[in-house]
Each structure stands twice: as C-alpha cells, then as structure tokens.
C-alpha cells in the first residue's frame, strides 16, 4: 500500500476514534454508491452525520478543509441521498469534515461541523 493510502487509512481510523470518544455511533465506513464514497456515516442524537476525512502531513500550502471540491460535495450528496432513501431514514442530515494533520508525534484533529450544505 502506498504512503498516501496509508495516511488516508490512518486518518480515517483516528477520525473514527475521535468521533466515538465524542459520543457518535459509527453506522458505516467507506460507503460507496456509484463513483461516490462517504468516509464515515455516523449518528449523534437524532442527526445522521456524513463525515469527509482529510488527512495531510502538512497544512503549509492550503487549508485541508478547502480541498473538498464542489464535485466532491455533489458526489457526497448523491451517495447520502441513496443511503437515506434505501434505509428509509427520517432524521436530519449534517455534513462535517474531520481534518487530521499528522506532522508531529501527536496528530492534530479538527472537526468542522456543518462544513457545507447540500443543494
């Protein structure tokens, strides 16, 4: 496995641990629908939380959260709509980004709630 893939996998594991520690329950990981993939589908209280995980070793060039493009957002919304419809879920949905910066011994995790809105 390439270093980039390892970084992404490790970042997702750290994000899952972080969310669990904050009281979220994890419903799905790496949910795929057509060309879309949702990194984490979680639930907190009466809200389904769609989580995009972004992992980097440096935030020097750009804010990690800024790397979620409009195309990625459209794919996330499409996959979310499928997931919600297929399971007949009647809960509020929120889109979050969890950034994992691994450039020191202790990773820095940032949780951006309501990071973007579907359209």
Q: Which long-range contacts (CB under 8 A, 24 or more apart) does 106-110 make?
A: 107/11, 107/14, 109/14, 109/15, 109/18, 110/64, 110/65
Is the confidence at residue 108, as pLDDT, over 60? yes
Is the confidence at residue 76, as pLDDT, over 90? yes
Closest CA to 111 of 11, 36, 32: 11
Average pLDDT over residues 39-49: 97
Which structure tokens are listed for 95?
Answer: 């889109």
pLDDT band per the 50, 70, 90 thresholds, residue 102: confident
pLDDT band per the 50, 70, 90 thresholds, residue 1: very low
Q: Cβ distance 77 to 118 under 8 Å?
A: yes
| 116 or 47: which leads in pLDDT | 47
Alpha-carbon gap, residue 61 to 2, rounded angstroms: 22
Alpha-carbon gap, residue 43 to 94, rounded angstroms: 10
Alpha-carbon gap, residue 25 to 11, rounded angstroms: 18
Write the pLDDT tens digit of every residue in 81-95: 999 999 999 999 999
pLDDT band per the 50, 70, 90 thresholds, residue 98: very high
Is the confidence at residue 4, as pLDDT, over 60? no
């Amino acid at each position: 496995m390439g270093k980039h893939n390892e970084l992404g996998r490790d970042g997702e594991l750290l994000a899952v641990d972080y969310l669990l520690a904050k009281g979220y329950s994890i419903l799905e990981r790496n949910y795929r629908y057509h060309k879309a993939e949702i990194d984490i589908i979680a639930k907190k209280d009466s809200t389904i939380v769609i989580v995009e995980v972004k992992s980097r070793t440096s935030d020097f060039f750009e804010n990690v959260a800024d790397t979620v493009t409009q195309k990625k957002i459209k794919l996330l919304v499409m996959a979310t709509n499928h997931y919600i419809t297929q399971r007949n879920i009647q809960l509020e949905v929120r889109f979050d980004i969890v950034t994992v910066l691994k450039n020191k011994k202790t990773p820095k995790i940032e949780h951006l709630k309501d990071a973007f809105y579907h359209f």
